């Protein structure tokens, strides 16, 4: 009988929070325009006998003009209004399966953090914020230099997206 066990991996994660100098709805639209929703219909039947990985990569590159796609969106503020909260918040899963594959081949457990979770929200002073965990700090926890390198690459891609969105780019993403 196989001995089952658990692993506990403690690791530090840097959360990036960037003040947005636009109204909530305007920035949310800019973000969703820059990071379009995943369109499964573009991939056909996803039959491995008729679609190869190169085709998937080509379609994904066309669909992700800034390297990222939105896989999921939740208007988290809607349910919180029942509890009397008026602050806006939309959460997302943003990523790119062709980039995730570069880590997945080493450890499928990376899918815990891929796609990346992002959030656009208002604070108590009505300031709008964009928030995301720094990818390299998430993926470094796997202790594999190949995975860690992809995390650093994701930092760079995130920096480019922030530039596209006219947001401050923290030095940690470019060092």
Low pLDDT (below 50) residues in the chain = none
CA dihedral 77→131→147→145, nearest 10 degrees, is: -150
Q: What is the pTM of this model?
A: 0.93
- Residue 43 near residue 61, CB atoms below 8 Å: no
CATH of domain 15-170: 3.30.310.70
Q: With contact defined as beta carbons under 8 Å apart, do 66 and 161 qualify?
A: yes
Whole-number Å distance between alpha carbons of 67 and 158: 9
Residue-level pLDDT at 1:
60
3-class SS of residue 70: strand
What's the pLDDT at 52? 86
Domain ranges of the chain: 15-170
Place of tokens 């919180």: 80
Distance CA 159, CA 175 (A): 11
pLDDT of 157 reads 98
DSSP code at position 171: G
């Amino acid at each position: 009988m196989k001995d089952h066990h658990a692993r506990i991996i403690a690791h530090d994660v840097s959360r990036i929070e960037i003040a947005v100098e636009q109204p909530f709805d305007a920035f949310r639209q800019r973000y969703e325009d820059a990071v379009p929703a995943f369109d499964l219909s573009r991939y056909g039947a996803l039959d491995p006998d008729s679609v190869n990985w190169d085709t998937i990569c080509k379609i994904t590159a066309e669909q992700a003009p800034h390297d990222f796609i939105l896989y999921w969106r939740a208007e988290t503020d809607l349910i919180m209004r029942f509890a009397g909260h008026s602050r806006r918040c939309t959460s997302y899963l943003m990523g790119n399966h062709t980039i995730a594959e570069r880590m997945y081949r080493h450890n499928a457990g990376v899918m815990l953090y891929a796609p990346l979770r992002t959030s656009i929200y208002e604070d108590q002073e009505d300031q709008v914020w964009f928030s995301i965990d720094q990818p390299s700090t998430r993926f470094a926890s796997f202790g594999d230099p190949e995975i860690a390198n992809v995390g650093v690459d994701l930092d760079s891609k995130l920096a480019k997206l922030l530039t596209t969105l006219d947001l401050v780019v923290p030095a940690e993403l470019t060092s």
